Every structure is written in structure tokens, then in C-alpha cells.
Amino acid sequence: MTSGTTLGSAVVRALTGAGVKQIFGIPGSHTLGLYRALDTAPIDHVTARHEQGAGFMADGAARSTGRTAVCSVICGPGVANVATAVGQAYSDAVPMLVLAGDLSRAERDGRGGHAHELRDQDALLRAVTDRVTRANEPEDVLHAVRDALTRRRWGRPAPVAVQVPQDLWESTVVAPATETGRQPEPPDPGAIEEAAAVLVAAHRPVIVAGGGAMGAADDLRALAERLDAPVLTTLNGKGAIDGRHRLHAGLVTQQYGVPDGAAQALLADADVVLAVATELGPTDFWASRPAFGGPLVHVDADPVAIGRHVPAQVAVVGDARDALAQLADLLPPADRSGAGRAAGCRDRLAAEAAPLGAPFAPWIAALRHALPDDGCLAVDSTSANYYGATPLFEVRRPRGWLNPSGLGTLGYAVPAAIGAAVATPGRATVALAGDGGLLFTAPELLVAAERDLPLVTVVWRNGGFGEIARLLREQGAGPVGCEQRAPDYPALAAAIGCRYAEPQTPAGLATAVSEGLTAGSPTLVVVP
């Protein structure tokens, strides 16, 4: 055991020992003990302009690295403000540690009118996290922090919150001298053998890969090649297989109102479907859930997710990388016309996307041309994403696509891109937003400016909430509440400290993005 130290110092030491490089947050009176300890720590504190931005930054950092990211907020308004970002991370299985300030222990459990007091902060955090620790002793805090930073043995990644009373930060705590690591539970050998037998007998197998497959991209590709199976991905799975690979079949997500679309047809024709690290939930499809033509072999670290939405014939509980590697060892190479089936699906998906995607297609192609293969694109909930980037932007590396899928919030792209840029220095990073969503979190561009990040933010100018306006018009109504006055973008960029460009052609966009990615400051690019 080590000698006693303050809780703030012990928490910072635990973060450092777990490899945490950044904390995203805003300091306050209820977290002063943490920030005193951070003063001399080798951890970069990224000060957001709003707690929601801090949460989205942590989300972007976690998705781009695969590691648990940390954000710090005060109790009351800080917790309430970060809740949307934490809920987004929960819906998309993003690992995050929220260090939440709390009232002192003497002030808890009452309605005393104390500063930053919520009636039930615990309930608010429980609604958006996997688990919440409401600490009463310093050891409670340290245990919960260490647990959140240690790899799980099973189950989906998710945000966790630790509420630290104001009076605990300076308490003395004795911290263990060494860490006790955990490894994921290995897949059951019998389940692997059963899955392999089903796959070997298949003639038209199809793979569906989710966001949890990002850490197993090489194994996914190797298995797909041995099985010669087309690979569909969910929105969060974009990039789990290179979009240029011959077996990449496109997105399983259907957002164009096309009944029995290409992805659904591919799944209906399959005699076996292998789902990897996806719960196959409603937001994975967006259209009606397709009927599978054959049995489902479902691989996931979370046993609760397996078969929850689609019945599984074979369940393999375990880490995707381990399961896929073991399956590949049992599968002899075979010719199952995988490349042809994948190409047919891609071509049909492109035709389905064309009617709504046509206005965006040349601009998205220009963006793809300008962003390096290993670059990262963070997108917002906007028509430029739904009908442009989602079907048309080819992701070529794992963790190169950050998308607010499940909760589907606005304002995600800019702070998530900042989090990714800070967590993966030197990686080309672009945010894509509509002009409505941009204004949710535009002040966070000041973080990029003060850090001289070569972050490029591309804004699709559509007069407000363009997608909702389109849906209202389809229903015979006017765009009530959707039209907004745009800011003076050149003045906004100048005030924040961003370079500015307003290209009139797709070629001009490619140039603006390329130049912005090598600049010494962020760039705001507005597409007319």
C-alpha cells in the first residue's frame, strides 16, 4: 500500500496510471480539490465553453481512440448541461468517465436551497449512464474511478458517473500501490465451434459489423475474406472495414424510405447472417427490421444484446477480436461469390441514395478527396449527413467516423471533432454540420482556436433546420419553427479566431479543406 494522500491527488494518479492524457471539463467551486491536484499533473485539461461541449469532446476522444475518456463538471447545472452528451455516449456504447461534483455530505438529501443543488442529481445521472456511484467515503470514489478505467470482462462499453461530495476532495485516502487488471472473458470454445460449423455450411453468408468491431478491424477483414462474405456495417460501424474493400457492401441503415432496399434484400437472400458487435436495434436499420433469410450467429461482448432484437441461433459472448480470430482459424477459404454480391448491393444502394443525395454528392466527393485516408470526420444530425455523408462518404480506416446515432442530438460535430483532434494529435480532422446544429455548440470553436488546432468545420447552409422543414413540407405544412437567420459567418470566424472560406464549387471546397488541414489555426468553411 502507498502512504495516505488527498483524494484529489489519488484520483489524478489513478487517471495518469490508466493512461488518461486529457480531461474535458469546466472547473467550479465543488471540484476545486480535483483541480488543485491537476495543477501539477501530466494531464491536459481541455476547458470547454459549455459542459455539453465537454461531454461531446470526451465522446469524440473516446470514439477516435477506443479508450475511456474523462470529463469533469460541477453539480447541479454542470450535471444537467452534460447530460445530453452523456446520453448520446450511452446510446452509442461510448466509454466515458464523468467526474461530477456534489454537495457536501452534510448538505445532501435535503432541499436546503444550497448553491448548485438539484432535487435528485442521482436520478438524472442514472438516466444517461450505465452506473452511478454516489460516494460517501474517499475509498468509494477511488474504487469507482479505477473500475471505470479498467477494461470490462463482458458487457457493452458505456459512460459511468462518480459523484464526489465537495468535502471529500481533501480527505486522506490510502491507494493501492499496484493495479489489478482485468481481461475480457474468452468466448466459450463450444459456441465458437458451433458458430464455425454453421458458417462453413453457408453458401451465401453476410456479415453485419457494428461500432464494437472497431477494435477488431483486422480480424473482421480476415474473417470476411476467408468466408468470402459481403460486409454491411451499421452507422457506428462505418470504417470497421475499408470502404474500398471488395467485400464492403455498404450500410445496413436505410434512410431513404425505400421498401425492401438493397441491404434488406442482401440479408433476406443470406442463408447465414453473422452479426458482430451490434445489437441490431431499430437505429441500426432506421427502416423496418429486415427478415433474415437464414439463421443468425451473433457475436457480442454483451450477453443482453444477443438476440434481443433478432433471435439468434448461435450466441457467442466475448470480445469481438478474440471471437473473430478464433472463428477464422476454423474456416477454410472458400469461394462464395462475396465480391459480386457486395458490388451488387453497393450499386443498388447508390441508386437508392441518389434522389435525396444528389445535391450533396459532388460536395461530399470533394470532401473525401481532401481528407487523407486516415483522417477523421465528425458529423452532426443534419441533412448533409443523412443524405450526403452517411451514404456517400467512404470511410477508409477504423475510428474515422464519429456519428451521433442512437440519441441523435444536434451540436455534436464540432466538439466531438475537437475531442478527436486533441486525443489524436496530427490526425486530419473535419467536422460537418448544418447551420442549425452548428449554433448549438459553435462557441467550442474557441477551444480549437486557442489550441491552434488545424480543425476544419464545414457548414452546409440550409437556412436553419432543413431536414425538419423538408419533412413538414412532405406532410403539407409549412416549415414552422425551422427557418432561422444565419449569423454573419465571416464576422463569426474572425471573432473566434478561425480562418474563413466560402467556396462556390466542390473543387473550391476541396481546396479550402486541404489548406485548412495544414493551417496553424481552425478554419470555418461555409458551403452555399
**Residues 312, 362 within the same domain:** no
pTM across the whole model: 0.94
Distance CA 275, CA 162 (A): 33
User: Order of strands, edge to edge, in the sheet holding 499-501?
Assistant: 401-402, 376-379, 429-434, 456-460, 523-527, 499-501
**Residues 132, 237 within the same domain:** no
Contact (CB, 8 A) for 241 and 217: yes
pLDDT-derived band of residue 286, with 50, 70 and 90 as boundaries? Answer: confident
Mean pLDDT of 261-288: 90
Instruction: For residue 233, report the phi and psi dihedrals to the nearest 5 degrees.
Output: -120, 155
**Residues 341, 395 within the same domain:** no
End of a domain among 309, 331, 350? Answer: 350
182 occurs within a structural domain: no
Kindly give the pairing relationship between strand 296-300 and strand 272-276. parallel
Distance CA 365, CA 389 (A): 9
Residue 387 is predicted with a pLDDT of: 92
Residue 256 is predicted with a pLDDT of: 66
181 occurs within a structural domain: no
pLDDT value at 260 more than 60: yes
**Residues 232, 315 within the same domain:** yes
Structure-block grid coordinates of residue 11: 484520483
Assign residue 210 a region: left if phi > 0, alpha if psi is -120 to 50, beta otherwise? beta
Residue 118 is predicted with a pLDDT of: 81
Share of the chain above pLDDT 70, in %: 96
Mean pLDDT of 245-271: 88
452 occurs within a structural domain: yes
**Residues 204, 304 within the same domain:** yes
Contact (CB, 8 A) for 164 and 100: yes
95 occurs within a structural domain: yes
**Residues 84, 136 within the same domain:** yes
**Residues 120, 197 within the same domain:** no
Question: What are 2-42's pLDDT values in tens digits?
Answer: 557 899 999 999 999 999 999 999 999 889 999 999 999 99
End of a domain among 317, 350, 383? Answer: 350
- Cα pseudo-dihedral 246, 247, 251, 254, rounded to 10: 100
Domain assignment of residue 114, given as a range = 5-170
**Residues 259, 161 within the same domain:** no
Residue 103 is predicted with a pLDDT of: 87
Residue 175 is predicted with a pLDDT of: 73
**Residues 328, 229 within the same domain:** yes
Residue from 149, 326, 346 nearest 241 by CA: 346
Question: The domain spanning residue 72 has which CATH number?
Answer: 3.40.50.970
User: How many domains would you assign to the chain?
Assistant: 3
176 occurs within a structural domain: no
Question: The domain spanning residue 213 has which CATH number?
Answer: 3.40.50.1220
**Across all residues in the chain, what is the average pLDDT?**
93
pLDDT value at 178 more than 60: no
411 occurs within a structural domain: yes
179 occurs within a structural domain: no
**Residues 317, 379 within the same domain:** no
Q: Give 482 or 196, the one with higher predicted confidence.
A: 196
**Residues 259, 337 within the same domain:** yes
Q: Which three-class secondary structure state does DSSP give residue 232?
A: strand
